Every structure is written in structure tokens, then in C-alpha cells.
Chains A and B, each alone.
Chain A
Amino acid sequence: MTDQEILSGLAEIIEEIAGTPADEVTPAANFVDDLDIDSLSMVEIAVAAQDKFGVEIPDEQLKDLKTVQDVVNFVSKNS
């Protein structure tokens, strides 16, 4: 899976869960500051990402994933 594929998959997830338009989900976007996504939505996104990419993102890791690129890197590294 390329980073671009992960990014577009992640954008679909975020649009479904948080209602954020997929085109706003850019690599540099910060979940809290730019996308207005809170910790509970992050958990939902992590669960959906696990279903989609087969990569588990534990709660302990989740708080360190601040930007979209952080999640893309995490999925890429662990898939």
C-alpha cells in the first residue's frame, strides 16, 4: 500500500466519521487544530483504520498521532 493509498483511505474514514470533507484531509492537517476531531473520534478513526488497513493503533499510540501524516506513517510502518 502506498502512502497515497493510505491517505485517501484515511480521508474516506474521516469523512464518514467526523463529516470532514475528504479534500481537507491533507498530510499536514492537525486532527485537533485543523480538522476539529476530538479524542473520541480519534478512537473511532483508529478502529475504522484497523478494519481498513489491518493495522491496530492502540490507545497508547493514538495520543502521539497528531497529524494525518503521523497516521499515514504509522500505518505504513506497521502494515
Chain B
Amino acid sequence: MIGTKILGIGGYQPDRVVTNDDLSKIVDTNDEWIRARVGIQSRRFARDDETVADMAEAAGAKALAASGLEPSEVDLVIVATCSTESPMPNVAATVASRLGIPAPGAYDLNAACAGFCYGIGAASDSVRAGSARNVLVIGSEKMTSWVDQTDRSTCIIFADGAGAAVVGPTGPDEPTGIGPVVWGSAGDQAQKIIIDGRDGKLWQDGQAVFRWATTAIAPVALEACRRAGVTPSDITAFVPHQANLRIIEAIARKLGIPRDRVADDIIHAGNTSSASIPLALSRMAEQGRLQPGTPALLVAFGAGLSYASQVITVP
């Protein structure tokens, strides 16, 4: 069976920067408290008229350009999102059309914050199985449209953005660049992160989610390393879902991965759900923190509860 790899990545953040001081004018909070609890200094909010599809298109275009592929070489578009304005039409077909990708398979995937790693797993399997030559995977979220901006427990955390990657086949004799996905769910804890109905807003049991994330996720990431035939000490970039800097640091500590190899994009991006991993990867690439050809570890987790992890080779 052929191998697969990431051919290119791209990220997009809306223009509007929202600082902790900005939020402290709306709700009873302050910069010091937010930095200490979640590690965020600023985040981006989309314009009112800016949609999940708009952001997905921007990130997808960058990833496509970075891959060096023509749009016609993409056979499948997957958009991971849990924050669309409406359930129909899906985002993926619209975005594919806007990017000039002719009539690909196109579907949205909802595994909440775990969506991007689910998407990479599904994309890699599609290429290996021969269902698609190349796949564009996008995580795009407008979380602010589902967050109560007067709820200080959530409005400080969630933000908007998009990130994308193109998955394609490896060349002959080239080792695979996407390890087996290790994924799963804990539906018995579904009520811990919810949007309650059409007019509901995002609510989470923060302490319970923190406990779950700092307990259950490191073993998933370790298993992804084992399945890929690497150890945490081989990992040159650890890119966990940017949920909360405290969670990120706790997982990294359990895996024994040094802090300078750990993505901390949340500081200036907030929690952008399924967009956070590709956004963080893009930022690390821009900062020269990624070493092409070396293994990076992705792990995502969130509502469902759901989680997924894989090792990729940095493009």
C-alpha cells in the first residue's frame, strides 16, 4: 500500500485582534487572571459578515499554494468544523468551488476540537485506499457565533480562524509521512461540552474537561508515537489542540517533551477548535520552528468527547 504525507499547510486569522483588556471592558475579568488560567494574551474575532466558509477558503488557498498542486489534482475536500452558521449547505462543497477544485468529493466533519486530526486520518486513508489522489483538509471555526460574549468562563477562551493541509501520496520508496491515526471517543461524558439547541450557547464543565484532558490525552499521543514507530524524544514539534496553555503544558510534561518543541499558538490565537492545530503548525513554520523531514506529533481533543492523534512528517 502506498504511503501518504502532508504536502503543504496554511493558516488564516481574521484581522480583528481582541486583547484581554478589551474583554475586561465587557465582562468582569482581567489580563492577569486570563493569562494565569488559560495562557491567552489576545485572540482574533471574525467580522460579523465573515463566515466559516470564507475563512476556510483563505486557509485552503494557502495550503493548496504551498503544496504546489493544481486545484484539479484534488479529489476530496474535508472541512472539519463545529460552528457553521447553518447545517446546510455544507462548507466543503462551497469552498471547493471557490478554490476552483472541479467537482471533488466534499464533506464536513464534526469531531469538534478533534476534527482536524480526524480529517487528516480520513484523508490519509482515502489516498491509501485509492479513493482520492490528493485531499484538502481544512479546520475552520467561527466559535464567537456560538459563545455568549457575556459569559466570562467561555468568552475569554474561544476565538475564530482556519487552518488547512493538503494530503497526498509519497513517492516510490519514500517512507510514509502520516502515521496511523489513534482516535476514539467518550460519549458517556458527552454532556461536559455542549451547545444546548438551536439558540443555545457553548457551555462546558471546565474543571471536568481539564481533568479529562490532562489525564486521558497523553496516553493517546503516546500510542500514536508507538504506532508510528517513534518515541516522544524523536518528536521535533509537539502540536496539541490549543485548548488551554495549562492543558498543553501538562500533556507535554507527561510526554517528557521539552517546552521549546511545544506549540503555544493559543497565546495569540485563543482556542479555535478544529482550526487550532493547522493554525499552530502554520505559525511554527513561519517562525522557523519546524524542521522539514522530521516527526511532529499532533493530538486533538474536545467535545464528544472525542480525540485523535497521529505523527506526521513536517513538510
Chain A residues within CB distance 8 Å of chain B: 16, 38-40, 43-44, 46-47, 59
Contact = CB atoms under 8 A, between A and B. Distances in A.
B207 A44 contact: no
B214 A44 contact: yes
8 contacts: A38-B37, A43-B207, A44-B214, A44-B250, A46-B211, A47-B211, A47-B214, A47-B215
B36 interface: yes
B268 to A, nearest CB: 21
Q: Chain A's interface: helix, strand, loop or mixed, by majority?
A: helix
Given A16-B253, A44-B250, A47-B215, 18 more contacts: A38-B36, A38-B37, A39-B207, A40-B37, A40-B207, A40-B210, A40-B246, A43-B207, A43-B210, A43-B211, A43-B214, A44-B214, A46-B211, A47-B211, A47-B214, A59-B207, A59-B208, A59-B211
Nearest to B206: A40
A38 B210 CA distance: 13
Q: Chain B's interface: helix, strand, loop or mixed, by majority?
A: helix
A11 B25 CA distance: 39
A39 B244 CA distance: 14
A16 B249 CA distance: 12
Contacts of B207: 39-40, 43, 59
Contacts of A59: 207-208, 211
Interface in B29-44: 36-37
Contacts of A44: 214, 250
Contacts of B210: 40, 43
A21 B36 CA distance: 19
Interface string B247-261: 000100100000000
B214 to A, nearest CB: 6
A57 to B, nearest CB: 10
A16 to B, nearest CB: 8
Contacts of A40: 37, 207, 210, 246
Contacts of A38: 36-37
B205 to A, nearest CB: 9
